[in-house]
Amino acid sequence: IAPEVGKLQSMVEEYAKAFWDENFGKVRFTETEYERSVKRIEQGEKKLHLIKVSQTATRTLVSLFDNPWRELQFTYVNVKDKVFTQEEDRHLLCWAHKYGYGNWNAVKMAIRRSPEFRFDYYLRSLPTEAVGKRCEQLMKAAEKEIELLTKKAREDAGAFEEEKKENSMNENAPVLEVKLPRFKEIKDAIRKQAEEDVEMERKQLEGKVEEIESNIEEIQNRLNFLQKCSKEFEGGKRKSSQTEFPEDLLPELANIVAKSGSQGVMAISNEFVSEYGQPVPKKVICAKIEDIANKEKRKEEGDLRAVWHVLPEYMNLLTVETIRHLRKEKEGRLEKKRGGSRKKQIYQSNEDMETIENGAIGPDGDFVDFPPYDGTEHPRECKKAFTLFCTGTRKKVKKSLEPSKRKERDLVNGILKQKWNEMPSEEKDVWKKWQVWDQLRYNRDLAIHRTPKKSQRLVNQEHTTEDSISDIPNKRKGDDDVESDKPQSVPNPDTSFHIPKKKRT
């Protein structure tokens, strides 16, 4: 108070004692003036208390992050704004914690000095009042965030129920202190909870699918039993027509076709005849196969070649065992398509072939192709995770520096080393996965480089022969009689041919 009013601290203390003295303060002021002054003092103290709580919450929230300038974010409170970005809010809250509440001019100058916002003209042009208003909003959000984190930590630790019991027994019981978890621990807990929810939902869906399949199997068994009873009641087997496929054997044919994969029509017909006999000619069986199924390649289902797919109107004829078999086959093809390596066949000689991977799985789980390599030069050596990080981040670091300092290699390397040391382990794992990918790329390039070039020479010789033969000029009209008297000779591709001159008209 003394610096604000421009008085000595001893004078302020003496005035405060005199003001609160009932025999002196109340006598010098009227009752209305005294009450109004007391209300203003209480409002000011309340405001100071709120500011202190906000500063404490901001300090606590910032302390939960290893690098708040890069990692700070809100987990339970929504502070998204149409004007301010997450990076701007992160830096504003860190500067508010650094310079203290109310020092908005210092925050404004920090924005102007920061290289991160050198081209952020909107943030640099904001007035001090707007910067301070946004900082106050963020500090209040930090207070709410700490309150929710504390409540969640108490519930997880079981301290919430203990406080309820103690408060019911004693109203003046102290509040139990709970240590707040770090942001990494909170993030890991949220990720673990999400994975558990997904796994639980997957198990529920699998249970429902199994229940539906068991119901289908039970219905099919009942239908088979009814068909068997109807045959016995009619007094024997029905004589099948020589031109129509029997309807009672259609489910068996559909199941065989569904499991046949890429087999031919005749192979499927022979398999059906070997298991169920030949009620009709094979020509009728082949025609029925083409009626109930299509042989096509469905890329969305992971097909590598054309396979048989039963038409939707005949899917009800498939048994539960066949449906499960088809589902497992489809999942296996899709998994192989996602996680398997693409292969490219190259000729090593006239007899054998070698398969070389053309890509590998990246850190995101997607297939990433290797860069093209012809094998003429020695392949580029594989790089470590730190080297790959420096290669991918060096341009960004240089852009953040002043133009005069961008060519100082020691400074840039020092910043890169500091960023690598301060990087969380999760981000380092991403670069380590890129290191594994680059190692696979080097192995692929080395295999191509060591491959004998015999097949390549054969291919080049074939191309040379084709090009030389293609250079032979066409025979002109009217030359048949002249050339018929001359002996015919076989053209040699290695010799050069004479191109006749154009006749004058």
Identify the pLDDT of residue 131: 92
More confident residue, 137 or 2: 137
Of the pLDDT bands very low, low, confident and very high (cuts 50, 70, 90), residue 219 is confident
Lowest mean pLDDT among 24-33, 292-301, 392-401, 437-446: 24-33
Identify the pLDDT of residue 453: 53
CA 432 to chain centre: 17
Picking from 376, 383, 389, the residue whose alpha carbon sits closest to that of residue 419 is: 389
Identify the pLDDT of residue 488: 42
pLDDT at 234 over 70: no
Q: State mean pLDDT over 41-70.
A: 88
Q: Helices 86-99 and 104-113 meet at what angle, rounded to 10? A: 130
Contact, 210 vs 216, CB < 8 A? no
Q: If you average pLDDT over each of 46-50, 225-229, 246-250, which comes out highest?
A: 46-50
Beta bridge partners of 294: 309
Residue by residue, DSSP assigns 328-371 as HHHHHHHHHHHHSPPEEEEESSSS-EEEEE-EEE-TTSSEEEPP
Which two tokens mark 227? 């068909």
Beta bridge partners of 346: 354
Of the pLDDT bands very low, low, confident and very high (cuts 50, 70, 90), residue 485 is very low
Burial 161-178 (b: 16+ CB within 10 A, else e): eeeeeeeeeeeeeeeeeb
The pLDDT tens digits of the residues spanning 410-465 come to 888 888 888 888 888 888 888 888 888 888 888 888 888 887 654 444 444 444 44
Of the pLDDT bands very low, low, confident and very high (cuts 50, 70, 90), residue 108 is very high
Q: State mean pLDDT over 164-170.
A: 50
Lowest mean pLDDT among 118-122, 204-208, 329-333: 329-333
More confident residue, 1 or 106: 106
pLDDT at 489 over 90: no
Assessment of whether the complete model's pTM goes beyond 0.85: no
Contact, 460 vs 434, CB < 8 A? no
Q: State mean pLDDT over 202-215.
A: 86
Identify the pLDDT of residue 166: 53
Identify the pLDDT of residue 164: 54
Q: State mean pLDDT over 184-201.
A: 85
In percent, the amount of the chain with pLDDT more than 90 equals 8
More confident residue, 69 or 173: 69
How far from 18 is each of 26, 40, 247, CA to CA, in Å?
9, 17, 110
Round to whole Å and give the CA distance between 17 and 183: 47
More confident residue, 256 or 365: 256
Picking from 444, 440, 394, 446, the residue whose alpha carbon sits closest to that of residue 417 is: 394
The pLDDT tens digits of the residues spanning 114-129 come to 988 988 888 999 999 9
How far from 399 is each of 103, 396, 407, CA to CA, in Å?
30, 5, 11
Q: State mean pLDDT over 160-180.
A: 53
Round to whole Å and give the CA distance between 50 and 214: 64
Q: State mean pLDDT over 48-77.
A: 87
Q: Provide the 8-state DSSP code for 280.
A: S
How far from 368 is each of 192, 361, 365, 430, CA to CA, in Å?
28, 6, 9, 14
Which two tokens mark 164? 């309820």
pLDDT at 107 over 90: yes
Contact, 501 vs 476, CB < 8 A? no
pLDDT at 25 over 80: no
Residue 19's CB is within 10 A of a number of other CB atoms, namely 16
Identify the pLDDT of residue 161: 52
Secondary-structure percent of the chain, ordered helix, strand, coil, rounded to 5 = 65, 5, 30
SS3 309: strand
